[in-house]
Structure 1
């Protein structure tokens, strides 16, 4: 029987959290996209996997779940094809309540995304702040595409069609901009096909497997029926802690033999924490609530093949420290590992580390 700890060892291994050095080409998480959320976002997720890429070799796109993700720039055309909704039903699920007025107006959802993309392409000829793009599209698109936003006290486009249409329009997000700045990619055209490694269902099963169909559907914001229709033929059933799950056949031996147990400070939105089986990763409800709160997520301490606690950055002026909340006693080696990773994080942020502070 495969248990949760063995699953975490496997994911640590295939997500390459146990390596010290890597290259852009062989960094597997870039196939599914590396989420860019918070100061320790995509670039820290890559750094903790031993990669310090030239940002010019990366492209930031709104893709799965409408979240910003980093990919290899060379993959952009194929990524656009890989993350595109499979059908109108899939697209409707991905844009949530924005689908209702479009359906009421008799506008197919995929056609609507193409219409938004066309307007974006015609509008964004140079880097442009998101708010300005939205204002321009408000003037050109009909009522079915728009809603009244209470927080803005204004009418503008629904958020998810706006985000999901951007990559169809060949627009990238300028890295680390807030508010987001969109820019056109010269000569962009979505590919007609894409390699297996960029298939989001296969990539999820490889990087976050073993998994259920429902978990993959939740990660993609797609209907379960659609994911079943695109389920890989080489996915094999396996039992994990008494539950039926699936993994790619080529990964089964790796799962059973994985022994990766590095010490890492994993960012709040790292792929390791993005799988939809949180109870498998952290089976204590109070600990899970602390790791995945509604607001203000901490990072996770990975040690001994388990999630061993929480960490948060503490910055005051020029002073930078890491606040540690261990879930149990760390070994001396694990404590040294945490301190080494804290030094690594401080260097990544370009500051000196004042120390690692442990909560009582």
Structure 2
């Protein structure tokens, strides 16, 4: 039987969390994009997979679900093609409520995204803060593209068309900027096609499989019908984690044989925690709520082929500690491994580790 633990072991291995060192070119999670959210975002996700790349070799883009993701810079044109909506219905789903005024005005959503992208290309000729870009677009685009924002007490573009149009315009994000800074990708040209490894459906099935069609659709913010239409021909249906799921045929043996059980401190938005089958990762509802709260997500301790607890960084003055809440007994060997990962996190942040503090 392929149970939940076996699924986590498989994902741990294909996402390369069990390797000590690796090359950027061979880092599989970059095919789907590595989400950049919080201080322990994309660069920490790469670090725990044994790679510390030069940031110049990466590009940050607003892509899937409008979230910022890091990719290999050499892939930027192909990524733009791979993450583009497949149809107007797909685009409408991805932009959420922004599709309603566009539809009422008779403007197809794909056409709207292209219109926003064209204006962005004209506006962003140098690094510009998002607010400045938004102001310029507000002045240039008609009413169906805009909404009243209560929090800003101002009228500006709907958020998702703004974000999804940026990559169409050939704009990248300055890494680690808040508020975000956009700038043109040097020599950008969207590719006419893209390699199989960048196909988001295939990449999800490979890295987060076995999965259902609905889970892939939720991850992409796409309609289930669209995902079914782009389902890989070499995907096979199997019984895993108590239900019928799909995996690429070439990955089935790796799933059945997976035995990866490293100890890692995963960032709150690490890909291993981003799959849409949270019950497979954490069966207990109370623990799931603690790992995925609405605000202030903790990191997860990966150990023994499962999510074994939570962790949070704590910095006060010169003190940097890592607080750990174990969900099971951590013996001496596991605590030693957690301490080694905490040391790695401290070095990544450029501080010295003061202590690892356990809630038990």
Q: TM-score, normalised by structure 1?
A: 1.00
1:344-359 matches, cutoff 5 A: 344-359=344-359
Tell me the equivalent position of 2:139. 139
State the 1:253 CA deviation.
0.3
Q: CA deviation at 1:318?
A: 1.4
Partner in structure 1 of residue 252 of structure 2: 252
TM-superposed deviation, 1:274:
0.1
Give the whole-Å Cα distance in 1 for the aligned partners of 2:321 and 2:353. 6
- Return the alpha-carbon distance in structure 1 between the equivalents of residues 349 and 269 of structure 2: 17
Following TM superposition, the consecutive aligned residue runs of length 4 or more in structure 1 with deviations greater than 4 angstroms are none
Match of 1:296 in 2: 296
Q: CA deviation at 1:41?
A: 0.2
Q: What's the counterpart of residue 336 of structure 1?
A: 336
Question: How many pairs are equivalent?
Answer: 360
Matched, 1:122 2:122: yes
Q: Is 1:231 aligned to residue 231 of structure 2?
A: yes
Matched with 2:322 is 322
Displacement after TM superposition at 1:317 (Å) = 1.1
Within 2, Cα distance between the matches of 1:208 and 1:242?
16
Matches within 5 A, 1:193-272: 193-272=193-272
CA apart distance, 1:328: 1.4
Distance 1:177 1:50 in 2: 24
Q: How many angstroms apart in 1 are the aligned matches of 2:332 and 2:231?
A: 44
CA distance in 1, matches of 2:97, 2:146: 11
Distance 2:50 2:86 in 1: 34
Matches of 1:33 and 1:4 in 2, distance apart? 24
Q: Kindly state the Cα deviation for residue 221 of structure 1 after the two structures are TM-superposed.
A: 0.1
Moved more, 180-189 or 276-285: 180-189
Three-state SS of the structure 1 residue aligned to 2:26 is: coil
**CA RMSD, aligned part only?**
0.5
Contact 2:213 / 2:224 at 8 angstroms: preserved in 1?
yes
Aligned to 2:43: 43
Q: Which structure 2 segments of 5+ residues have no match?
A: none
Matches within 5 A, 1:183-202: 183-202=183-202
Distance in 2 separating the partners of 1:32 and 1:302: 21
Taking the aligned partners of 1:241 and 1:78, their CA distance within structure 2 comes to: 34
Q: Secondary structure at the match of 2:25?
A: coil
Gaps (5+ residues) in structure 1? none
CA distance in 1, matches of 2:331, 2:10: 22
Cα displacement (A) at 1:187: 2.1
